[in-house]
Amino acid sequence: MSMAAVQINGIRKQYGDVVALSNINISIESGSFYTLLGPSGCGKTTLLRTIAGFHRQNSGTIVVDSKSIQDEPAHKRDVGMVFQDYAVFPHLSVEDNVAFGLKQRKVAKDEMKTRVEDALKMVQLSEFAKRMPHELSGGQQQRVGLARAIVINPTVLLMDEPLSNLDAKLRVDLRAELRKIQQRMGMTTVYVTHDQEEALAMSDTVCVMYKGIIQQAGPPFEIYNRPANRFVANFVGGNNFLKTNKHNGVAKLISGRSICSYPAGVSDSTGIVAAIRPEAISVRVSASSDEQTLSVEVNVDQISFIGREMEVHGHTSDGEVIKAVTRPDETIMSLKEGDNAFMVFARDDISLFEDSETGRRLS
């Protein structure tokens, strides 16, 4: 298996007046699993299609190893693509589906046979070679799509939400399988999803996109633990954002408690929000007296049992909404909607962001 490093420099793509991608710069290490994560319409598919050569960028370059490919037609790029909707040919058997790209490339019969067998073995479909697509489950069809992409021995494998049509259980199974196959083959992979959990679980690098702009790229741990801006802090893992008042370089919750100092250079007109992860909050019936923790009083709106954990939603007297995700304990089991309670969290668990959609991290 060949593998390649991919360098994307200053890619811009417009559809008429719509700027789908603006100045995308990405560096993908050879053999790594690189995920584009972002909400619907942020430009993920557009970027994959640009790499595959299905349309032309307005500007920018794509370098695979040391070769610029941005002007090559799609069929001359050594790129394999797996789509969301399986896109297997319904009138061809499993093995003929997988052989398709090899026939197009005029690969000799014997070699074709071996390569199809190897690819089917890789995706654990050897015994399904003679079946027709309609005789397969969704997960199996998706694996045919994968086998068809890897059999041509691509330098880069592109996958556009390949698991999104599958049920939750199968999705989790198949994502582990996909990751194993990718690692075994050492194949440079660009993967698209809007599922943050999938992205964190599978990737070497997660690249968070929003409105055609890269918000942050880094290892999953870093994306989750040090989100670079408010959008990432919210999109990956969810967060509570509490308004603050600024006073002498210190942000104060509007509930009245000082929380953190923030760096110089924040303009007077820029608001600051305090971010606290729902899982960093515990729910108590009385305020904490510990100096290192903060207690915000809320009125409980909703308590939901979500298996291992409970979700408690409440709002403050200022109308701010706070969500806690916590283990069920006696306090929570005895709480009812409409009760007053305290959302308690450690100062150390607070991050500050500028108060705008993509406001930068301040601490």
Give the interface with ligand ATP as residue ranges (CB under 6 A): 15, 18, 20, 38, 40-46, 194
Q: Are 200 and 238 in contact (CB under 8 A)?
A: no
In this complex, which beta carbon is closest to ligand ATP, that of residue 44 or of residue 143? 44
Tokens representing residue 265 in the block = 């250079």
Measure the CA–CA gap between 72 and 86, rounded to whole angstroms: 26
**100-101-104 Cα angle (round to 5):** 90
Amino acid at 263: P
Q: Are 342 and 283 in contact (CB under 8 A)?
A: yes
In this complex, which beta carbon is closest to ligand ATP, that of residue 16 or of residue 256? 16
In this complex, which beta carbon is closest to ligand ATP, that of residue 166 or of residue 283? 166
Closest CB 161 distance from Mg ion, rounded Å = 6
Closest CB 181 distance from Mg ion, rounded Å = 22
Provide the pairing of β-strand 351-354 with 272-276.
Answer: antiparallel
- Per-residue interface string for the shown chain with Mg ion, residues 30-49, x marking contact by CB under 5 A: ---------------x----
Closest CB 157 distance from ligand ATP, rounded Å = 17
Closest CB 31 distance from ligand ATP, rounded Å = 25
Q: By C-alpha distance, which of 191, 241, 240, 201 is closest to 223?
A: 201
Q: Which residue's Cβ lies closest to Mg ion? A: 45
Q: By C-alpha distance, which of 78, 163, 174 is closest to 123?
A: 174
Closest CB 43 distance from ligand ATP, rounded Å = 4
In this complex, which beta carbon is closest to Mg ion, that of residue 39 or of residue 249? 39
With CB under 5 to 8 Å by kind, the binding choice for 20 among Mg ion, ligand ATP, none is ligand ATP
With CB under 5 to 8 Å by kind, the binding choice for 229 among Mg ion, ligand ATP, none is none
Q: Classify residue 319 by its DSSP letter.
A: -
* Partners of residue 9 on adjacent β-strands: 61
Q: Are 216 and 199 in contact (CB under 8 A)?
A: no
Closest CB 50 distance from Mg ion, rounded Å = 13
Tokens representing residue 50 in the block = 């640009």
Measure the CA–CA gap between 186 and 180, rounded to whole angstroms: 10
Closest CB 18 distance from ligand ATP, rounded Å = 5
- 3 state DSSP class of 354: strand
- 3 state DSSP class of 226: coil
In this complex, which beta carbon is closest to Mg ion, that of residue 32 or of residue 45? 45
With CB under 5 to 8 Å by kind, the binding choice for 18 among ligand ATP, Mg ion, none is ligand ATP
Helix (H) / strand (E) containing 225: helix 220-225
In this complex, which beta carbon is closest to ligand ATP, that of residue 15 or of residue 221? 15
**185-161-116 Cα angle (round to 5):** 40
Please give the size of the binding site for Mg ion, defined by CB under 5 A: 1
Q: Are 145 and 110 in contact (CB under 8 A)?
A: no
In this complex, which beta carbon is closest to ligand ATP, that of residue 37 or of residue 310? 37
> Where in 99-128 is the site for Mg ion (CB under 5 A)?
none
With CB under 5 to 8 Å by kind, the binding choice for 15 among ligand ATP, Mg ion, none is ligand ATP
Helix (H) / strand (E) containing 333: helix 330-334
Residue 70 touches Mg ion, criterion: CB under 5 A:
no
Closest CB 235 distance from Mg ion, rounded Å = 16
Tokens representing residue 85 in the block = 């909707």
With CB under 5 to 8 Å by kind, the binding choice for 133 among ligand ATP, Mg ion, none is none
In this complex, which beta carbon is closest to ligand ATP, that of residue 49 or of residue 230? 49
With CB under 5 to 8 Å by kind, the binding choice for 359 among Mg ion, ligand ATP, none is none
Please give the residue ranges that form the binding site for Mg ion (CB under 5 A): 45
